[in-house]
Structure 1
Amino acid sequence: MSGGGRKKTACVTGGNGYIASVLIKMLLEKGYAVKTTVRNPDDMEKSSHLMELQALGPLEVLRADLDDEGSFDDAVAGCDYAFLVAAPVNLHSKNPEKELIEPAVRGTLNVMRSCAKAGTVKRVVLTSSAAAVSGRPLQGSGHVMDEESWSDVEYLTANKSGPWGYPVSKVLSEKEACRFAEEHGISLVTVCPVLTVGAAPATKIHTSVPASLSLLSGDEAAFGVLKGIEMATGCVSLVHVADLCRAKMFVAEEDAAAGRYVCCSVNTTIVELARFLADKYPQYTVKTDLLSGERLQKPRVRLSSEKLVREGFEFRYRTLDDMYDDMVEYGKVLGILPN
């Protein structure tokens, strides 16, 4: 760590979350002091894993709310890096503008303002989503999407199909964060992860884990998420949560990192996934009744992380085999799969 024995300090917003829990663990293991925020530190059902992570190093848990102006000031004060992970994920909102899009943009700017006030933050790493990259109408196949690709907000807002508010919230949050960073001289990097899988310290779980295990669990609502992703983007793209968090630390610490980074290591389809799972986990019997109707055989679209790799990052989980090993075990721990 830096001279004089002072540990570098990182703030991670949304410490109760699936991705944040892995990031906090990795930062502590790397010798960082970490400050994390949760809406309600007294809710032990959601925060117990944070108490366990405190055994790894200095971890402070602070109360903050995305809706509450200035509530991130203490969390960001004195930090070298700020990782913005907390965001509203209300996919089934009846009023996405009011319940998802406006709170997402407002919350992002709220944390950015705290970073500007702190004056110590060398870099802000914003977690966006591949939903901000791939949500647009496409004909045919063979498309490659990268950091230059943006979801089409006008198209999504006009058609309002599926959970359209989520990609719109991600695009607008990213663009507002960039504008704010430029105006205030803040170094901002954005990471756009695809469907994130793998085991984490958190035990209250996020959409991506049940969705990626839905062919084994038979959970129709969770499978609906997977189906929605394939319909909206023309593929099912996956990244392991450990690779995602390593990528976030990489772009935070790499001076030359700039702009957006797509974080994806496997592009597949539901059909390919079902075939792989049936072969690898015969004890679970893939729920083939979920697979009725027209199905993509091969991805029509590929999300590319070439920029990240070109700048020196290496993915460790590059195949479905790599990814699902700890996923199935984690699924048992969470009660999504039978033991």
Structure 2
Amino acid sequence: MSTGNRKKVACVTGGTGYIASALIKMLLEKGYAHLCFDPDETPDDTAKNCHLKELQGLGPLEILRADLDDEGSFDEAIAGCDGHVLDDESVSDVELLRAKKPPGWGYAVSKVLLEKAASRFAEEHGISLVTVCPVVTAGAAPATRVRTSVPNCLSLLSGDEAEFAVLRGIEALCGTIPLVHVDDVCRAEMFVAEAEAAAGKYLCCSVNTTILELARFLADKYPQSGDLLEKSRMCVSSVKLEREGFEYKYKTLDGMYDDMIEYGKALGILPK
């Protein structure tokens, strides 16, 4: 993982986030020298950045701050980085989401607009942009504040109706609950970053399921709530990623949820 005596350097934005925190941990364990910044929060915000301070024990993690409105403020963080520029992507229909306004629609729209802006920036500056698009992401991560997929996935156990509504909205729009473990998302991001031939967009999904199947699976460990009906579904495929040699580590619901139950307890989503 090094060139001569120099370690590879990676930059991850939004380091206080769920997936980003897991990616930072994996990169440090793989021997990367690491730069991390969050444009919305200050490095001194202890409540949000405490897990990053702990991760500094794994390797050279430098926490920087940049502002999207301040041209050139990202230069220090990106300088000296190896591999491709990585970002999440979304293939959601913006107009459909704006018209129907399902739970969480604003988050999905923001991801689409962000991806378009990143693509324009890459084109204008001659940057090779490779994107990994994770579906509903499960599993434990270092982050201690999680607002999206984890509470969604655990809503059948927590009884949180708002989070469950998001899960139903995903199934209604997609015809499936597409899942991937956060470790596999991080491995996929590193995989395309280190592959010289990687190009374009990669959908990252290892399991397609339904709310009913999730409920039946979780019924073995926790009481099932709600009268859920089986629905027809379609399958989300990540054939491009697998065709280029990536192999998923977590391919079953048991693997997806094994560490997330305890993670949910630690986050306060589930009772201990």
Specify if TM > 0.5. yes
- In structure 1, the partner of 2:144 is 203
Identify if the C-alpha distance between structure 1 residues 161 and 201 changes in structure 2 by more than 3 Å, giving closer, same or farther. closer
Q: Secondary structure at the match of 2:53?
A: helix
Q: Which position in structure 1 is the counterpart of 2:258?
A: 325
| 1:36 counterpart residue number | 36
Q: Which runs of 5+ in 1 are unaligned?
A: 82-122, 134-150
SS in 2 for 1:12: strand
Task: Decide whether aligned partners of structure 1 residues 223 and 156 sit closer, same or farther in structure 2, where only a CA change above 3 A counts.
Answer: closer
Report the secondary structure of 1:238's partner residue: strand
Check the 8 A contact 2:156/2:164 in 1, yes or no. yes
Corresponding residue for 1:336?
269
The alpha carbon displacement at 1:334 in A equals: 1.2
Distance 1:185 1:157, change over 3 A: same
Matches of residues 149-188 of structure 1 in structure 2 within 5 Å? Answer: 151-188=92-129
In structure 2, the partner of 1:213 is 154
Residues 236 and 299 in structure 1, CA contact (< 8 A), matched pair in contact too: no
Three-state SS of the structure 2 residue aligned to 1:301 is coil
Inter-partner Cα distance in structure 2 for 1:237 and 1:3: 37
2:197 to 256, 260, 265: 256
Three-state SS of the structure 1 residue aligned to 2:179 is: strand
Q: Could you tell me the TM-score, scaled by structure 2's length?
A: 0.93
**CA distance in structure 2 between the aligned counterparts of 1:233 and 1:336, rounded to whole angstroms:** 25
Change in 2 beyond 3 A, CA 1:228/1:305: same
Residues in 1 aligned to 2:59 and 2:241: alpha-carbon distance in whole angstroms = 29
Q: Distance in 1 between matches of 2:59 and 2:172?
A: 43
CA distance in 1: counterparts of 2:102 and 2:55, whole angstroms = 40
Does residue 1:9 correspond to 2:9, yes or no? yes
TM-score normalized by the length of structure 1: 0.75
For 1:161 and 1:79, locate their aligned partners in 2 and report how far apart those are by CA, in whole Å: 38
Structure 2 counterpart of 1:57, from 56, 59, 74: 59
Write the letter of the residue equivalent to 1:33.
A
Contact 2:102 2:169 in 1 (8 A): no
Q: Would the alpha carbon gap of residues 161 and 3 (structure 1) be closer, same or farther in structure 2, given more than 3 Å must change?
A: closer
- Shift in alpha-carbon separation, 1:174–1:223, aligned structure 2, 3 A: same
